[in-house]
Amino acid sequence: MFLTDLYALFVYLICAIVISYVAFLISYIFGIRADDSNKLSAYECGFTPFDDARDTFEIHFYLVAILFLMFDLEISFLFPWAVSLSALSFIGYIAMVIFFIILTLGFIYEYKKGALEWE
C-alpha cells in the first residue's frame, strides 16, 4: 500500500521534470537571442552602475527603507497576536491597542517632519 503511493508520486515527479525540461529545451532551441548591452549590465535602482561609488545618495531611499522595516515589524508583531486572539484576555487586546497607538503616533511624527514627501 505504501509503495503504490510512492510509485504514483515518483511517476508524477518524473513527468513534471520531463515536461519542464522539454519546455526549457524548446525555448532554448527556438528562442530569439539578441545580445544587448542594456540587458547584460546590472540594474541598480535606476542609477547607472558605472558611476563613481562616492557620489551622494538620496537620503529618501534610507527613509523609505526604515519606514518599510518599521511596518514590516508591525506585521510580524500583529500576526501572532491575531492568531492567538481567542486565547488572549482583555490585557492582550489592550497591549496591542497601545502598540497601535504608539505606531500611529510615530507615523504622524514622520508625516509632520516631511519624511514621506519626495522632493
What is the number of domains present in the chain?
1
Residue 14: inside a domain: no
- pTM confidence score: 0.47
Q: Tell me what pLDDT residue 55 has.
A: 66
Residue 40: inside a domain: no
Domain that holds residue 118: 50-119
Residue 99: inside a domain: yes
Q: Tell me what pLDDT residue 14 has.
A: 97
Residues 16-68: pLDDT tens digits? 999 999 999 999 999 887 777 766 666 666 666 666 666 676 777 787 888 88
Residue 75: inside a domain: yes
CA 81 – CA 102 distance, rounded (Å) = 16
Residue 101: inside a domain: yes
Task: Please say if the pLDDT value at position 72 is more than 80.
Answer: yes
C-alpha cell of 31?
528562442
Residue 103: inside a domain: yes
105 vs 4, which has greater pLDDT? 105
Residue 57: inside a domain: yes
- Please identify which residue in the block is written with the cell numbers 514590516: 72
What is the identity of the amino acid at 74? Answer: E
Confidence band of 110 (pLDDT split at 50, 70, 90): confident
Q: Tell me what pLDDT residue 12 has.
A: 93
Select from 48, 68, 82 the least CA-distant residue to 115.
Answer: 68
C-alpha cell of 53?
561609488
Residues 75-102: pLDDT tens digits? 888 888 888 888 888 888 898 899 889 9
Residue 71: inside a domain: yes
